[in-house]
Amino acid sequence: MAEARTFTEQNPIRVFLLDDHEVVRRGLADLLDAEPDIQVVGDADTVEHALARGPAVRPHVAVLDVRLPDGDGITVCRELRSRMPELACLMLTSFDDEDALLDAIMAGASGYVLKQIRGSDLLSAVRTVASGQSMLDPATTARLMRSLRADTTEQPAMAPELASLSPRERDILALIGDGLTNREIGKKLYLSEKTVKNHISRLLAKLGVQRRVQAAVLASQLEPPVSG
């Protein structure tokens, strides 16, 4: 495990912002840049811009809006962290949404805060995740996962649905359960990212679920480990 990172005025926390509202981005940038140990190094207003600009500025922390016009910040979190594993993502949302929290956990987010958070608390959250710590309460996370698992296991047809998966789909489902991104799954199984996406679309349809996190919970019911 990496040691906790420390930051100073000479070595500030580099922050990247993603929000589709310009006023929100400017407000966040003003708040963060006023701190001597924090520097906003870039921002974006769409998923496309974030994936293009984010890696180029090498941030330590990405503050990501969950809901965006062309997608969501959780996808951005997953994709940026696949390129920059050391990146800490702080999800920012207007909604207290348990489903989004679970998706954020699966994507590797370090924290999840509501937009109603006080400025001083947001600064504290940025410093906490930058240092390598998590803002996700373990008890809450465990409760949510138990709840989702209970919802899933109540479906009597689940075993046949798992059995309907092809060997390749079962391998991919197991890797989703391990929290791997599409790119990481592709590398492990020697498939293109597009092929992985197509497999995932089909296996979600077979399992009767819409979201990756629901599939990840079902992956725990798979008996055989991934071969390799």
Q: Are 23 and 52 contained in the same domain? A: yes
Looking at residue 114, what DSSP letter applies?
A: E
Check whether residue 31 and residue 119 sit in a common domain.
Answer: yes
Q: What is the pLDDT of residue 88?
A: 94
pLDDT of residue 223: 59
Cα 79 from chain centre: 8
Q: How far apart are the first and last CA of the chain?
A: 25
pLDDT at 181: 84
pTM reported for the whole predicted model: 0.67
Residue 7 lies in a domain: no
- Per-residue confidence (pLDDT) for residue 101, from 0 to 100: 76
Q: Which two tokens stand for residue 213?
A: 């996190």
Question: Of 87, 105, 136, which marks where a domain is finished?
Answer: 136
Is residue 42 within 8 A of residue 76, CB to CB? The reply is no
Looking at the DSSP bridge assignments, the partners of residue 40 are 15
Please report whether residue 148 resides in a domain.
Answer: yes
Residues 178 and 108 in one domain: no
* 4 found inside a domain: no
Determine, yes or no, domain membership for 78.
yes
For the chain, the maximum distance between any two Cα atoms, rounded to a whole number of angstroms, is 59
pLDDT digits (tens, 9 = 90+) for 120-142: 989 999 999 999 888 876 666 66
Q: Which two tokens stand for residue 140?
A: 């809450």
Query: Is 169 within the bounds of a domain?
Result: yes
Supply the CATH number for residue 195's domain: 1.10.10.10
Total domains in the chain come to 2
* Residue 89 sits in the same domain as residue 61: yes
Condensed to tens digits (0 to 9), the pLDDT of residues 7-22 reads: 888 899 999 999 999 9
Same domain, 131 and 146: no
> What stretches in the chain show pLDDT beneath 70?
1-4, 95-98, 137-159, 223-228
Given this model, what pLDDT does residue 228 score? 43
pLDDT attached to residue 156: 43
Residue 187's domain comprises 142-219
